[in-house]
Structure 1
């Protein structure tokens, strides 16, 4: 029988599990967690993992649609368990490498002969690097039973990508790379699911506070106070963009990013008129709606932005308009806007999904941004004419919303604001048993 890439992945997974179990006394974890904090300067979402031997804590920026965990290997990477992946290896097959080649300098960590390469991305400076070397090393991550913290577990051979220091430009201070959570075999969700026999699911719950941690949860059964992550969600299909927007379009590979099918937008329950062609994905991968932590705020194509903001202003006619504050164009005096459990008392914005009864409701806590003592602005940015993606749902609109990505079923479960349920993403228990 000929070996396919699926068989290679299965074999690699079994070997990884076996090597994990050797010398381990802790039971197989039910799930894994990463604490996530919001950087006040860059508005990026930061996590920390343990990597290398001896273990070193590494800060990484979350890249929801990223295809790999990439790390700066040029500056201070030292490890006795680092191993490059050689051309033709199982690791290179899993990584769907772009090319193989030799190092142009003396071999070292991140630059080896007969090595295979992929193309990691830094979305914050919109830069791709086509010489990312595929490697393996130890990775450490905390386990959980769903609601209580558990032990840290070590993965002896986690596939990641080495990059030079320049690709870290634009990342938060002290950050050494990005943690890719995209639809790719070497992104964290797929690797962890294969190694530990989890369902191919992960949940993202970003805190709106720069002082408290949110959580990324790998596996099934996440719970927060007053919400059962498996039951209290609405579901919509994840859509595959056939072109690699945000990764490598010229390779004609599917995008690793997460798209959903927004069919319409309502403001205060009233539909706005949108060019429907913008909501679909065309033959070149343009259009549609994606969810991205690569943008701090949602971005709307110009014509969509215009009708949404006009409707919003019309529905909030009693509020006092004030001068724009970049990057926002629609701002109000906060003294003229009331407050509710779910943030400022402003019109709700609904992203209507597969039917008019299935929608993602954005309340004031996720639509209004405080930019001064008495000024708040509508937290959507004008994306201009003919952007690659018509609607990008950015990080601010994700905060204190629970999103569950099921890669096997290709569905997204979402909660809308957890403030309605009197809880937040900062309420996951990281420290003590409940």
Structure 2
């Protein structure tokens, strides 16, 4: 009996040590990382993230997904089938297992996390798949380029990103298993070339961040490039983040933080803006104003009353720069052929006195060699939200969405730090 008791104690001790080892395990990676590309061949500038979609012939296939921080779920160019055994999927096609209209994911997504768009028709159970005894789950999707509504079929997917440590990407991979909408290729006709999906980075439980499991911290970091010749970078995880040439400076040390706000009719992200300051003169922003962050809108849009005050003040402080005829969609433009363009910062004053400074490179859009325009747009008298901060103002700014603490970190222009979003060392190295 004593011998059996000793054996039991030894077994329990071994199990306890194994649990301690698991608890103390620290993975070699701190985040997942992917390149971000700028596209200028669509109706408006757009940004995509490159994701690994399938393992074929001993290598990963890659696809570019538009980055959308408002979309409720991921959708892309693929088909759903009742089986995807080898040989059953058409060549050059991505196939996923179908989700039945009777499964809880279908009902849950349709009733709580679908696209909220008046152009979308009611979702029905009329879709069926050949050889399958159940109806497929049709869901509405909204094209972020055209705003039109289409339909996709919901399926199970696997999407993969490279693991990393903030300095490099590793050759190791990190998979996520979201429910995605599979839409026909025709749904992407007006997308940028080689972009075949929408990557949802919103707060929806069906968006991609909800499917990236522990040990990754629920933090999304975006760094949009300012041109299409070199990629920026996207991180998801704990950090740190490093950009060359400051290889030992964590970009988080450049960030200021403000609370993220939610909106009852959106899965996107909002912040508070108390006022807009241009050369020490404050432009009042009404107290009930909401400010949305958008990765789809190309330029910051202001409700007409706010826009008029900003343009009036900006015109006054730039009166020495010769004006030029406005170029749509902009209302204030300047001649730059004889004068070096340097304009005052536009400061968004946030709660607790935090300041997000928009300097010349993010406030002035160069239209031609002779003309540059203030990259702010009149959204109309009833625009809601009253302020939408767009992607031109994001370029070469480091942005961090902490979805656990619900805060937003921003750097203002990295060019003032002698770096840019194109300066991540993308060399893939062996996993430690």
Q: TM-score interval w.r.t. the shorter chain?
A: 0.7 to 0.9
| Structure 1 residue runs without a partner (length 5+) | 1-26, 244-254, 280-287, 339-343
Separation of aligned partners in 1, 2:204 and 2:163: 22
Higher mean alpha-carbon deviation, 329-338 vs 371-380, is at: 329-338
Name the structure 2 match of 1:206. Answer: 224
The equivalent residue for 1:362 is: 358
How far residue 237 of structure 1 moved from its aligned partner, in angstroms, is: 0.7
The CA deviation string for residues 392-422 of structure 1, in whole angstroms up to 9 with x for no partner, is: 1111000000000011111101101111111
Q: CA deviation at 1:152?
A: 4.5
Partner of 1:242: 264
SS in 2 for 1:52: strand
Residue number among 258, 265, 276 corresponding to 2:276 in the alignment: 265
Q: CA deviation at 1:199?
A: 0.8
Match of 2:166 in 1: 146
| Counterpart contact for 2:32–2:174, Cα < 8 Å | no
CA displacement, residues 214-255 of structure 1 (integer Å, 9 cap, x when unaligned): 011010112223442333211111110011xxxxxxxxxxx1
Q: Are residues 321 and 140 of structure 1, via their aligned partners in 2, closer, same or farther at CA, if it must alter by over 3 Å? A: same
| 1:339-354 to 2 correspondences below 5 Å | 344-354=341-351
Q: Equivalents in 1 of 2:278, 2:197: separation in Å?
A: 38
Partner Cα distance (2:388, 2:233) in 1: 22
- Cα deviation for residue 85 of structure 1 reads 2.2
The 1:155/1:90 distance shift into structure 2, 3 A limit, reads farther
Counterpart check, 1:294 vs 2:296: yes
Matches within 5 A, 1:125-164: 125-129=146-150, 131-153=151-173, 155=175, 157-164=177-184
Partners of 1:91 and 1:29 lie apart in 2 by 31
CA RMSD of aligned residues (A): 2.6
| Residue number in structure 1 paired with 2:46 | 44
Q: How does 1:260-409 map to 2 (within 5 A)?
A: 260-277=271-288, 279=289, 288-338=290-340, 344-355=341-352, 357-409=353-405
The alignment partner of 2:337 has SS state of helix
CA contact (8 A) 1:301 1:383 kept: yes
Alpha carbons 1:320, 1:333 under 8 Å: kept: yes
Report 1:11-50 matches (<5 A).
29-42=29-42, 43-50=45-52
| Alpha-carbon spacing, 1:383–1:334, altered in 2? closer, same or farther (3 Å) | same
Aligned length: 376
Q: Deviations over 1:307-366 (max 9, x none)?
A: 10110010111111011111112111113543xxxxx410110111103x3111100010
Give how far 1:122 is off. 2.2
* Contact 2:171-2:428 within 8 A present in 1 as well: no
Aligned 8 A contact 1:238 1:259 in 2? yes
Secondary structure of 1:235's counterpart equals strand
Separation in 2, partners of 1:215, 1:432 = 14
2:142 aligned partner: 121
Measured in 2, the distance between the counterparts of 1:66 and 1:100 equals 17
Distance 1:188 1:157 in 2: 9
Q: For residues 387 and 411 of structure 2, what CA distance do their matches in structure 1 show?
A: 20
Aligned to 1:78: 93
CA distance in 1, matches of 2:176, 2:260: 32
Q: CA deviation at 1:44?
A: 0.9
Shift of 1:73: 2.7
Q: How far apart are the structure 2 equivalents of 1:268 and 1:332? A: 18
Structure 1: 4+ residue segments shifted above 6 A: none
Query: Whole-Å Cα distance in 2 between the matches of residues 389 and 353 of structure 1?
Result: 16
Is the 1:136–1:158 contact (alpha carbons within 8 Å) kept by the matching residues of 2? yes
Offset of residue 58 of structure 1: 1.5
Is the CA contact 2:291–2:385 (under 8 Å) kept in the aligned structure 1?
yes
1:231 to 253, 274, 278: 253
Closer, same or farther: CA 421–152 of 1 in aligned 2, 3 Å: same
Change (3 A) 1:216 1:224: same
SS of residue paired to 1:307: helix
- TM-score, reference length from structure 1: 0.79
Moved more, 116-125 or 40-49: 116-125
Deviations 1:234-277 (A, max 9, x none): 1111110011xxxxxxxxxxx11111111111112210244444
User: In the alignment, is the contact (CA less than 8 A) between 1:87 and 1:100 conserved in 2?
Assistant: no
CA shift in 2, pair 1:94/1:148, >3 Å? farther
SS in 2 for 1:272: strand
Match of 1:256 in 2: 267
- Give 5+ residue unaligned stretches, structure 2: 1-26, 80-89, 115-121
Q: Secondary structure of the equivalent of 1:381? A: strand
Deviates more, 1:86-95 or 1:225-234: 86-95
- Aligned counterparts of 2:422 and 2:32: Cα–Cα separation in 1: 17
